[in-house]
Amino acid sequence: MPPSSRKRNKGKERKAKQAAKKEENEKADAHEFWKRRFWSSSTDCDHGFGLRILLPDGHPVSSFMDQLIINLKSMAVSEVLSVMSTTHPLIWINESYRKLVLEILVHIGTNMLLDEYSPLTWPACIAQSIMVLEQHNNGTDDIDSVMQSRVICSKNRDLDSLLSSISRDALKFYRKRISCKCLKKMHLEARKTIPKMGICGHCKHEMERVSLSVCSRCMIYHYCSRECRVAAWPNHKSQCDNYVNAKFRQTDWPQAYRYTTNS
């Protein structure tokens, strides 16, 4: 073999080893991240799950959690779950595995809120992941259809990381999923001090939701005025059609120009 070929091969081997080492380190860091958040909280409560995580290396649930944390650091939630529905099919097919993942995620998100973990986008991203796992029906549903459903999209809207009221919505989300009272005081205090906020789908201004109107077809996008709603319609139309057609026939809904107040 010519010296140049041997040099190229050694270079490829070195890069492969570096890539493998990087992947190994990423998995180790991710594993430590979610395990530490699972056990760490200002209380010693199990939040009603009674979980004591003793998963062996390579267990499908542990592998899923590691990869979920890795991907959430660099990808949008929708993209992450779309990819992982293919790379980790057992979680979506096996109900017991999926239930355990859900309990772990709720436990971690709750602990993050109790510890006032920053950035708050982590509890929000975990909540968005929980919603898709809850709505997915034992592997029989198309993952993209689940993520585009009105139920998921409307709740994701309220957990948008741009909103100043995200802590209030996150507290409500996790409080409904735990049987203990760990988040009760924090949630009640947030309801008193933090107004519900929304973002206009056209001008992107943030304001109290009571001042916004919601599209009466998809019931997802908010607008601050009729002018913004009309201006946004050419771009919103295809998204609106997708949301409506995902669950209902187009003829079941009012005309596009109608909109209702979101109380």
- Domain segments of the chain as ranges: 3-194, 197-263
For the question of whether the overall pTM of this predicted structure is more than 0.85, the answer is: no
Residue-wise pLDDT for 4-62, tens only, equals: 676 677 777 777 777 788 888 999 999 999 988 888 766 778 888 876 667 787 899 99
User: What is the C-alpha separation between 168 and 193, in angstroms, rounded?
Assistant: 9
Q: HEC states along the chain?
A: CCHHHHHHHHHHHHHHHHHHHHHHHHHHHHHHHHHHHHHCCCCCCCCCCCCCCCCCCCCHHHHHHHHHHHHHCCCCHHHHHHHHHHHCHHHHHCHHHHHHHHHHHHHHHHHHHHCCCCCCHHHHHHHHHHHHHHHCCCCCCCHHHHHCCHHHHHHHHHCCCCCCCHHHHHHHHHHCCCCCCCCHHHHHHHHHHCCCEEEECCCCCEEEHHHCEEECCCCCCEECCHHHHHHHHHHHHHHHHHHHHHHCCHHHCCCCCCEEECC
Among 43-47, 76-80, 170-174, the range with the most confident prediction by mean pLDDT is 170-174
Of the candidates 124, 53, 63, the one whose C-alpha atom is nearest the C-alpha of residue 89 is: 63
Residue-wise pLDDT for 112-164, tens only, equals: 999 887 677 899 899 999 999 988 764 545 777 777 777 788 888 888 777 77
- What value, to the nearest 5°, has the Cα angle with vertex 205 and ends 201 and 207? 105
Residue with tokens 């709505």, as numbered in its chain: 135
42 contact partners, CB below 8 Å, separation of at least 6: 114, 115
Q: What pLDDT sits at residue 254?
A: 36
Pairing of strands 259-261, 213-215: antiparallel
User: Looking at the predicted structure, is the pLDDT value of residue 1 above 70?
Assistant: no
